[in-house]
């Protein structure tokens, strides 16, 4: 069943207020920035990043699961994960290079968040050069050498105290606040395409309509029967 058909079918089973909310939120969603979390072992931090992504309108989040697999902390994520498009790279012992390759094939620049010789401040990152995949590393070791060796650019957050780094969830929130504010005030076309919007709205409608799966199955059953008769 196509996304447009799902939307048309479920619209009558969703309140007007809910439909308005879905459309309002999807208007602010973007795939221009994607977040990639490499081997995060503290699930509450990863869950907090998901919550920030939802709040700042970032739709795509990617998990690289080498040693550690992500398990959602529901008290921290606050239901944000169901509204996001989450991809897991976990088929090999080390999945980092596969994730980098996939992001590049999708048209993203690989941007590592870490102090580096050739880094720039997060506020100075040039968004006009194309979509970015923003990589965050684990709490203590940071990003792997594979990411560092394959990154196109490096960014850092300015710090003025004795502590050398922010908590990863804080880092992600600061970066996304800075970048999404800059993106929304730019001339860049950062909105979802018509196809992306339609497919995402269909998924959100299934989350919002009661008994959505049953309704879709019944619709497909009826249409299959009619088709067989013809």
For 99-111, write each residue's pLDDT tens digit.
999 999 999 999 9
Q: What tokens appear for 185 in the block?
A: 């005030």
Please report the pLDDT score of residue 225 as a whole number. 55
CA 222 to chain centre: 36
Contact 179, 190 (CB under 8 A): no
**In angstroms, rounded to a whole number, what is the distance separating the alpha carbons of residues 202 and 221?**
19
Q: Which domains does the chain have, with CATH numbers?
A: 30-190 (3.40.1280.10)
Contact 43, 71 (CB under 8 A): yes
Percent with pLDDT over 90 in the chain:
79
**In angstroms, rounded to a whole number, what is the distance separating the alpha carbons of residues 4 and 200?**
10
DSSP assignment letter at 224: H
Q: What would the pLDDT profile of 22-42 be if each residue is shown by its tens digit?
A: 999 999 999 999 999 999 988
Question: Which of 93, 91, 103, 107 is closest to 36 using CA atoms?
Answer: 103
Q: What tokens appear for 32 in the block?
A: 């221009």
Strand 85-89 and strand 33-38: the pairing is: unpaired
Low-confidence ranges of the chain (pLDDT < 50): 226-230
What does pTM read for this prediction? 0.93
Question: Which of 85, 55, 86, 54 is closest to 70 using CA atoms?
Answer: 86
Contact 150, 183 (CB under 8 A): no
């Amino acid at each position: 069943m196509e996304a447009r058909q799902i939307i048309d079918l479920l619209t009558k089973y969703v309140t007007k207020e809910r439909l308005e909310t879905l459309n309002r939120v999807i208007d602010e969603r973007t795939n221009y920035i994607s977040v990639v979390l490499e081997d995060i072992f503290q699930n509450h931090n990863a869950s907090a990043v998901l919550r920030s992504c939802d709040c700042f309108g970032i739709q795509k989040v990617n998990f690289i699961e080498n040693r550690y697999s992500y398990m959602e902390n529901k008290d921290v994520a606050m239901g944000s994960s169901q509204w996001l498009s989450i991809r897991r790279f976990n088929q090999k012992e080390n999945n980092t290079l596969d994730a980098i390759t996939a992001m590049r094939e999708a048209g993203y620049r690989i941007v590592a968040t870490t102090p580096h010789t050739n880094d720039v401040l997060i506020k100075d990152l040039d968004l006009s050069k194309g979509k970015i995949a923003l990589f965050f590393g684990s709490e203590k070791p940071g990003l792997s050498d594979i990411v560092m060796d394959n990154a196109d650019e490096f960014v850092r957050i300015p710090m003025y105290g004795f502590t050398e780094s922010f908590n990863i969830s804080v880092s992600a929130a600061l970066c996304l606040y800075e970048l999404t504010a800059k993106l929304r005030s730019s001339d860049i076309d950062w909105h979802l395409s018509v196809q992306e919007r339609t497919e995402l709205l269909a998924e959100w409608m299934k989350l919002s309509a009661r008994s959505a799966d049953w309704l879709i199955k019944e619709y497909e059953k009826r249409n299959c029967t009619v088709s067989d008769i013809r």
